[in-house]
Structure formats: structure tokens, C-alpha cells
């Protein structure tokens, strides 16, 4: 696979200069790029590394003096991160799955698979499942009964879609994804320690329980179009109502979405973040790494929850929340600064107490 500079610029929607006929076969870091590469030097901190490599072509920021860098051609990136997305598509190394259905795959009677499918070894599709056209399903995946999935499905090895799930078009499930597992719902025969602690703030011997009864999940999962789930992420089915995820939402690896949760459109849930049962999240919300949302919480649209923030109260739209307990980010930063000053303030207070004590003794 190779592209001329002109072809590459056109595909990226960018401007180019220099020898537009030069061809490149892959992107590379500036310091390691050879003559066959396009060097990724969109930001100033990477431009200086071009001297350590042998690139003839680079993607640089607008206004960069590319000729002074010894390049023969340059592509100008108005927004470096967005250019990275385009480069990733152009030079993608697609998952290899042989066309057709592998002999070891089990497609039960009553399952429907659209035209152009590529289904790998040891895949299991249960009765009543319906999958759209051009599905690509890797080895050791399973799709439950009566599950309906749209066109252009892509499942990486070991992904599992449970029964009675509804998924839109262009869904991507990375390695080990789980959609439609039972929710974490258990109840003790009599009020237990958690209930007593919530009501009284204490735990007594009377609240000890000998065990828990399972509350089975009878709902399903409904996922919109263009949703991607990262490796080993999980979305549980609802207890009675469905768990829902809106169009364009992306889940990173090891993200957990509990039962009955509703997540809006175009949200980002970063690694190890979690949403507990029955919480509702609006559109365009970002949960940074290890952010946690307690159960039955409502979060508005256009909210950013910073890394390791714990949310245990409702959050209105348009807020940036930080810390545990969560506060608006500017307040949390000031609290952190004040906390850093406490040792110094304590030392000053102790010195003042000594002076007052000595003055009292003298009198």
C-alpha cells in the first residue's frame, strides 16, 4: 500500500507543497522515519526530531518552513489529532477474516446472516439472531438468541453478545467485549448492612445476612449506530427495562456500564471508568479514566468528569467536575492548593502557640 503526497493530502482534506508525486508506504515517528515514510511532525515538539530521521515527506503544522527542514514535500495539518484519525484509516491494517463462514462455526437454525459475511472459527450464532450485511466476526465470538445487529458489524476475538440485544450499524466490539450479561443485582431476605448503614450510619449484628438472593435480569440492551467498545469492556442488560447507549458513543477498555443505565449520544467513557445501575447520562459527556458514577445519578449533557473523580450527586449540564467528593473543577483546584498549604499553616500555628505560651509564662 502506498500513496503519493498528492493522493495523501487529498484523502486528508489538507494542503500540500513540494514534490507531490513522491510516494510513501507508512507513517512513522520523525526520528525513525525513512525515505519511504511520511513523518508525523504536526506539533512543534516533534519537528526537531526530523533531523534524526531520513524522511523526505512530513505532515507539519501550517506555516512551517518545511524546505529549511530538508524535506522534499510537506502536507499541512490544521488540526493534528484529526489528521491522525485520517492517517489511521488510510494505513489501517484490517483484521483478517476469511470470507464466508468457517466450517467450525455454529450457525443455529433460524439465525439470519446478511450477505458478504466473514465469520471465523468457533463462532456461535444462536437461533433467532439477525445480523446485517458485511458482518466480520472473529474467532470464538458468540451472539445470543433473538439478538438483532445492523450492518458492518466488526467483532474481535472473544467478543460475546448476549440474548435479546439490539445493536445498530457499524458496531465495533474489541477483544473480550461483553454485551448483555446479567446485572449485579442481589438482595438479602431481610434488611442488610448496607440498608442499615444508609438509614442509621451504623452496622449492627441484626443486619448480618446469611446470603443473598439473585434478581435475574429480564431486560435487554439497546445500542445505537457507530458505537465502539474497547477490550474487556462490559454493558449489562437491564433488570426489567433495557440498558441503552446512544449513537456514536465510545467505550474504552475495561469500562463497566451497569444495568438499567442510559447513556446519550457521542459520549466518551475512558479506561476503567464505571457507571452504576440506573444512572442516566446525557449527550457528549466525557468520563476520564477511573471516573466512577454512583447508582441512580442523573448527569446532564456536555459534562466532563475528570480522572478518578467520584460522582455521588446529580450533575447539571455544562459542568466540569473533579475530585472525590466531586466539585466544580475550579473549586477542586483551589481546595487542592489549600490542602497543600496546610502543613505550612500548621507549622506557623504551632510556632504562634509557643510564642503565646512563653509570653503567658513571663507575665
Based on the domain organization, do 132 and 249 belong to the same domain?
A: yes
Q: Are residues 141 and 72 in the same domain?
A: no
pLDDT band at residue 363 using 50, 70 and 90 as cut-offs: low
In angstroms, the CA 347 to CA 267 distance is 46
What confidence score (pLDDT) does residue 361 get? 57
Mean pLDDT of the chain, nearest integer: 94
Identify the domain containing residue 166 by its residue range: 100-322
* pLDDT (average), residues 325-347: 92
Question: Quick check: is 14 in a domain?
Answer: yes
Q: What is the pLDDT of residue 190?
A: 82
For 33-53, write each residue's pLDDT tens digit.
999 999 999 988 899 999 999
- Single out the residue in 41, 59, 90 at which a domain terminates: 90
Domain boundary, last residue among 90, 114, 131: 90
For residue 362, is pLDDT > 70? no
Window from 90-104, 269-283, 345-359 with minimum mean pLDDT: 345-359
Residue 26 lies in a domain: yes
- Which grid cell is 281? 447520562
pLDDT value for 227: 98
Stretch among 80-84, 242-246, 337-341 having the lowest mean pLDDT: 80-84
pLDDT tens digits for 240-295?
999 999 999 999 999 999 999 999 999 999 999 999 999 999 999 999 999 999 99
Is 95 a member of any domain?
Answer: no
Q: Are 235 and 166 in contact (CB under 8 A)?
A: no
Does one domain contain both 198 and 285?
yes
The CATH number of the domain holding residue 19 is: 3.40.1390.10
**Does the residue 246 lie in any domain?**
yes
Element (H, E) at 320: strand 320-322
Residue 175 lies in a domain: yes
Q: What is the pLDDT of residue 83?
A: 86
Position 144 in a domain? yes
Same domain, 338 and 204: no
User: What pLDDT, on the 0 to 100 scale, is given for residue 276?
Assistant: 97
126 shares its domain with 215: yes
Q: Which of 96, 231, 95 is nearest to 160 (CA)?
A: 231
pLDDT computed for residue 89 by the predictor: 87
pLDDT tens-digit profile of 170-211?
999 999 999 999 999 988 888 888 888 888 888 888 788 878
Last residue of a domain, one of 90, 117, 136: 90
**Number of compact structural domains in the chain:** 3
pLDDT of 125 above 80: yes
pLDDT on residue 211: 86
Q: Which of 65-79, 147-161, 224-238 has the lowest average pLDDT? A: 65-79
- Same structural domain, 301 and 169: yes
Quote the cell numbers at residue 206.
441484626
Task: Note whether 80 and 128 are same-domain residues.
Answer: no
Q: Is the pLDDT confidence value at 357 over 70?
A: yes
Examine residue 112 and state whether it is found in any structural domain, yes or no: yes
Same domain for 126 and 43: no
Q: Are strands 57-61 and 37-41 parallel, antiparallel or unpaired?
A: parallel
- In this structure, the dihedral spanned by the alpha carbons of residues 29, 59, 77 and 41, taken in order and rounded to 10 degrees, is 40
Is 102 catalytic? The answer is no
Tell whether 79 is covered by a domain: yes
Same domain? 345 vs 293: no
pLDDT band at 95 (very low <50, low <70, confident <90, very high): confident
* Beta bridge mates, 305: 287, 321
Question: What average pLDDT does the segment 83-87 reach?
Answer: 88
Q: What is the CATH number of the domain that holds 292?
A: 2.160.10.10
Answer yes or no: do 198 and 305 share one domain. yes
Residues 215, 229 within the same domain: yes
Could you tell me if 210 and 146 lie in one domain? yes
Burial class (CB in 10 A: 0-12, 13-18, 19+), 109: exposed
Catalytic residue of the set 37, 160, 164, 259: 259
Amino acid at each position: 500500500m502506498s500513496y503519493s503526497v498528492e493522493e495523501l493530502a487529498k484523502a486528508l482534506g489538507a494542503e500540500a507543497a513540494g514534490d507531490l508525486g513522491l510516494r510513501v508506504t507508512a507513517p512513522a515517528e520523525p526520528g525513525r522515519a525513512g525515505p519511504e515514510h511520511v513523518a508525523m511532525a504536526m506539533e512543534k515538539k516533534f519537528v526537531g526530531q526530523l533531523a534524526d530521521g531520513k524522511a523526505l515527506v512530513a505532515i507539519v503544522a501550517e506555516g512551517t518552513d518545511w524546505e529549511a527542514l530538508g524535506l522534499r514535500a510537506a502536507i499541512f495539518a490544521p488540526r493534528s489529532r484529526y489528521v491522525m484519525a485520517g492517517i489511521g484509516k488510510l494505513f489501517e491494517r484490517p483484521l483478517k477474516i476469511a470470507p464466508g463462514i468457517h466450517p467450525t462455526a455454529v450457525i443455529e437454525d433460524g439465525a439470519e446472516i446478511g450477505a458478504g459475511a466473514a465469520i471465523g472459527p468457533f463462532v456461535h450464532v444462536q437461533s433467532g439472531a439477525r445480523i446485517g450485511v458485511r458482518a466480520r466476526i472473529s474467532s470464538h465470538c458468540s451472539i445470543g438468541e433473538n439478538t438483532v445487529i445492523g450492518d458492518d458489524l466488526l467483532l474481535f476475538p472473544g467478543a460475546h453478545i448476549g440474548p435479546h440485544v439490539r445493536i445498530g450499524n457499524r458496531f465495533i466490539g474489541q477483544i473480550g467485549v461483553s454485551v448483555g450479561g446479567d446485572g449485579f443485582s442481589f438482595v438479602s431476605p431481610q434488611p442488610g448492612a448496607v440498608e442499615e448503614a444508609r438509614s442509621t450510619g451504623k452496622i449492627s449484628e441484626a443486619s448480618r445476612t446469611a446470603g443473598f438472593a439473585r434478581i435475574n435480569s429480564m431486560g435487554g440492551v439497546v445500542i445505537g449506530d457507530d458505537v465502539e467498545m474497547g477490550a474487556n469492556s462490559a454493558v449489562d442488560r437491564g433488570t426489567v427495562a433495557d440498558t441503552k447507549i446512544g449513537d456514536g458513543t465510545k467505550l474504552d477498555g475495561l469500562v463497566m456500564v451497569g444495568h438499567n443505565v442510559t447513556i446519550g449520544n457521542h459520549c466518551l467513557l475512558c479506561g476503567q471508568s464505571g457507571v452504576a445501575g440506573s444512572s442516566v447520562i446525557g449527550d457528549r459527556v466525557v468520563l476520564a479514566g477511573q471516573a466512577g458514577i454512583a447508582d441512580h445519578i442523573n448527569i446532564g449533557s456536555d459534562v466532563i468528569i475528570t480522572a478518578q473523580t467520584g460522582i455521588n450527586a446529580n450533575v447539571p449540564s455544562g459542568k466540569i467536575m473533579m475530585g472525590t467528593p466531586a466539585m466544580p473543577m475550579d473549586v477542586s483546584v483551589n481546595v487542592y492548593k489549600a490542602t497543600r498549604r496546610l502543613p505550612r499553616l500548621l507549622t506557623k500555628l504551632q510556632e504562634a502557640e509557643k510564642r503565646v505560651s512563653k509570653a503567658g509564662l513571663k507575665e
